Amino acid sequence: MLVTGVAGTDREEKLQQIDRIIASEVLHGSESLCKLLRYLAEHCIDHPGTGLKEYQIATELFGRPANFDPRIDATVRVQSGRLRSKLGEYYAHLGATDPWIIEVPKGAYSLVFSLRTLPVAPEPAALTSISTTAFPNARSRTLSNPWQLAVVALSIGLTLCLVALVPLLQDRANGRTAVRTDKESTGALAVLWKNFVDTPDEPWVIFSNAEFVGRPETGMHYSNPEADKGQAILDHYTGVGEVLGIHELDRVFASLHHGLRVKRGRLLSLDDAKNNDLIFVGSPSENLSLLEIPSAKEFVFRRMEAGSRKGDLSIANVHVRPGEGALFLANTGLPIIEDYAVVGLMPGLNPSRWIMLLAGITTIGTQAAVEYVSRSNTAEDLLKRINGSTSGKAAPFEAVLRVKVAHGVPVQSEVVAIHLRN
C-alpha cells in the first residue's frame, strides 16, 4: 500500500507539471503541441520503459490515415522538434524553479522526467546552543522574558531567510533568473513593437502567396512568366513558416492588448501600404508586394546570376562592414540545415507609418525571423544591439539571422550582421 501511494503521488506531481507547462504563455495557443505533450506524458507515466512509434502518434493523435508514410509526411518529427524547442524555452525562463524538468530526447518519441536538484539547506541551530554566557542562569531559567523570546525569534527568522535565499543565489550562480511577471516578460516586446501598438489602428500582416501553375493532384510548380504564359495562376498557397509566424505574431499582439489584420500579399495595394503599418512575413521571391514597396536597403534578396548556385535566392549585403559576409545562402539540397533571414524595422511609404520585414530565404527562415522578434530574450538582445538598452523606442534597423534547422524546425538563430537605418 505504501508503494502504491508513493507512485500515485509521483504520477500526480508529474501531471501537474504538464498542466503547468500547457497553461504557460510558451504553449499558449499551440493546441497541437499541448496535445502532443499530454499524449507523450500519459504514455510515459502509465507505460514506463515502452516507446512510441511515429506511426502510432500520427494515426492516434494527429488523425493521419492508416496508410500514413513518415517518409512523405513529417508531421510527427516536426511537432516533436517544436515541442523540444518550446520546453527548452520554458525552462530557460518561466520554469526555472519548477520541481520537475521535462525533456524530449532527440531521436525518440518519449519524455524524460527529472526532479530538480536543490541545494541542501543548513539546519537551523538548536535553541540549546544559545550561549550561557549571555544567559548566566540559562540552565535553571526558561525563555519566558519577552526580550529573550524576541532574540530567539529573530535568530530563527534570520536563519529561515538565509535558507530561502539559497535557491535564489544558486539560480543566479547558474545563470538563471527568477520568473518574471507578465509586465516584465512583455517589456522588451512592448518596446520593439512600440511603433505598431501606440496607435489605435491595427497593423496589417502581409503574408506571401507565390504564383503557381498546374494542379495539386497532378503536379504544380512556381510560375515561369515565359514558359507558363497563358496558364491559370494559383495564388492561394503559402509556406508552413508563414502560417506559424502569423500565429506567433497573433500571440505577441494579444499579450500587448492590440489586434492584427491579415492579408495576402497579392491583394495589397499601394494605397493600403501608404495608409497602414505593415508587417511583411515572407521574402520578396514569394511576397511579391515587396517588390513594389521600398523596404530593405542594407540586406536585399537577389537571385544568383552565375556559378553553381545560379538561380538560388540569396541575401546580399549592400554595404559590407568589417567581419560581415557579403552574401548569405541557405545550404544546397535537402534537408535544409541552415538558412538565413532578414529582420528589419523601417519607415513606410508614408513617413508616419512603419514596416517590419520578417523574411527568410526559405519558409523555415521566415518562421525563425518571426520567432526572433516574438520572444522576450531575443527581443532584449536585439534592442541592446540597436538601442544600447531595452527602453525607449526601437531605432530603425536591418539585421541578418543565421538559422540552424533540425527536422524542418528552426532550433537556433543568431544575428550575424546588423545595420542601423538613417
pLDDT class of 419 with cuts at 50, 70, 90: very high
Range with top average pLDDT, 78-87, 219-228, 330-339: 330-339
Tell me the C-alpha distance between 94 and 96, whole Å: 6
Question: Per-residue pLDDT for 14 more than 50?
Answer: yes
Q: How far is CA 316 from each of CA 73, 230, 296, 327, 418, rounded to the nearest angstrom?
A: 34, 33, 11, 5, 13
Rounded mean pLDDT, 155-170: 46
The whole-number pLDDT of residue 108 equals 83
The whole-number pLDDT of residue 69 equals 86
Burial class for 224, CB neighbours closer than 10 Å (0-12, 13-18, 19+): exposed
Question: Per-residue pLDDT for 177 more than 60?
Answer: no
CA-based angle 259:81:325, to the nearest 5?
80
Rounded mean pLDDT, 308-326: 94
Preceding peptide of 335 cis, ω within 30°: yes
Q: 267: which residues sit within 8 A by CB, 6+ positions away? A: none
Per-residue exposure over 313-323, b if at least 16 CB sit within 10 Å of its own CB, e if not? bbbbbeeeeee
CB atoms within 10 A of CB 419: 19
The whole-number pLDDT of residue 373 equals 96
Residue 61 · residue 32 · CB < 8 Å: no
Indicate the average pLDDT of the chain: 81
pLDDT per position as a tens digit, 35-67: 999 999 988 888 887 778 899 999 988 888 888
pLDDT per position as a tens digit, 253-309: 999 999 999 988 878 888 888 899 999 998 877 665 665 566 789 999 988 999 999
The whole-number pLDDT of residue 3 equals 32
3-state secondary structure at position 315: strand
Contacts 24+ apart (CB under 8 A), 166-170: 166/119, 166/121, 167/97, 167/118, 167/119, 170/118, 170/119
Q: Cell triple for residue 411?
A: 532550433
Question: Per-residue pLDDT for 190 more than 90?
Answer: yes
The whole-number pLDDT of residue 116 equals 81
Residue 405 · residue 411 · CB < 8 Å: yes
The whole-number pLDDT of residue 185 equals 45
Show me where the domains of the chain are located.
2-115, 149-179, 183-420
The model's pTM:
0.58
Question: Per-residue pLDDT for 218 more than 80?
Answer: yes
Which tops the pLDDT comparison, 143 or 205?
Answer: 205
Which tops the pLDDT comparison, 164 or 360?
Answer: 360
